[in-house]
């Protein structure tokens, strides 16, 4: 059975998350239903990572097995046709070896979190970023973020329902970008690691927001980290500002050769 890698973009607001649900809409369920329209039968796709309700995807990666050989472009076009009107799009498709796996072959995940500082409610970008009404110190947030980079026991920043075998992870990057806009100040948190714990990024951002607001110091972030206690974490920020921004593989399956 030919296997295909799918690069998926989606707006997370209407969904209960990536993972298939029995009684609620999910991104996985929407794609599997579209696959069923192309080749009737039960389809099960696997993704590089599961996103929670309200979390968005810029470049989620999944794979599917098909009964017949499809031209990748035609497969993506057909899936996009049957995905309408759900806010899900296949933005790239590529054939991959039978042993290639969207999750287990991945060596890196990248997340983006968008936070907007302004008093007025969001309109055009409502549901796409977290709005706070008070000023934030970007340099202080970066100083706090620097305390988290490296290999640590991240129990403090791990959901109580996290199913990972170990809380020890290596955080490769956590960069705070400040963008001054006419309508306010946007902060973008760029986070990169091989894998993440449940709610880890949202726990990071919620804690760093407290640093930016002056309620915590960067040293308080270190204290929270070494406490290895969920109760030491800052508030967990809402999901609507979080995006799965990319997935890295030893060889990018979407790179076209000979072009």
Supply the DSSP string of 46-76, one letter for each residue. Answer: EES-PPBTT-EEEEEEEEEE-SS---HHHHH
Bin 17: left if φ > 0, else alpha if -120 < ψ < 50, else beta.
left
Selected catalytic residue, list 23, 36, 52, 98: 52
Return the DSSP state at 31: H
Tokens of 106: 């991945």
Per-residue tokens: 208: 């760093």
**Would strands 56-65 and 130-132 be described as parallel, antiparallel, or unpaired?**
unpaired
Q: At what angle do helices 218-227 and 138-146 cross, to 10 degrees?
A: 30
Q: Which of 195, 193, 208 is nearest to 241 (CA)?
A: 208
Cα separation, 248 vs 110, whole angstroms: 8
Residue 220 catalytic?
Answer: no
Residue whose structure tokens are 């760093």: 208
> Which residues are the active-site residues?
52
């Amino acid at each position: 059975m030919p296997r295909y890698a799918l690069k998926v973009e989606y707006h997370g607001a209407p969904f209960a998350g990536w993972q298939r649900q029995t009684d609620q809409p999910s991104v996985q369920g929407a794609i599997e239903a579209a696959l069923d329209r192309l080749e009737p039968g039960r389809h099960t796709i696997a993704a590089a990572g599961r996103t929670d309700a309200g979390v968005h995807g810029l470049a989620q990666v999944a794979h599917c097995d098909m009964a017949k050989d499809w031209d990748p472009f035609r497969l993506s076009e057909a899936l996009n046709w049957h995905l309408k009107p759900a806010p899900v799009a296949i933005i790239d498709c590529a054939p991959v070896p039978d042993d290639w796996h969207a999750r287990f072959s991945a060596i890196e995940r990248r997340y983006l979190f968008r936070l907007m500082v302004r008093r007025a409610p969001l309109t055009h970008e409502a549901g796409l970023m977290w709005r706070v009404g008070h000023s934030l110190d970007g340099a202080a947030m970066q100083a706090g973020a620097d305390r988290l980079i490296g290999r640590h026991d991240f129990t403090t920043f791990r959901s109580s329902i996290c199913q990972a075998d170990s809380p020890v992870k290596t955080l490769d990057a956590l960069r705070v970008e400040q963008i001054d806009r006419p309508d306010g100040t946007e902060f973008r948190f760029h986070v990169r690691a091989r894998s993440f714990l449940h709610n880890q990024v949202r726990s990071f951002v919620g804690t760093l927001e407290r640093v930016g607001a002056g309620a915590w110091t960067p040293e308080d972030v270190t204290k929270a980290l070494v406490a290895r206690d969920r109760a030491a974490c800052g508030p967990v920020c809402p999901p609507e500002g979080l995006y799965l921004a990319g997935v890295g593989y030893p060889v990018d399956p979407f790179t076209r050769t000979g072009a």
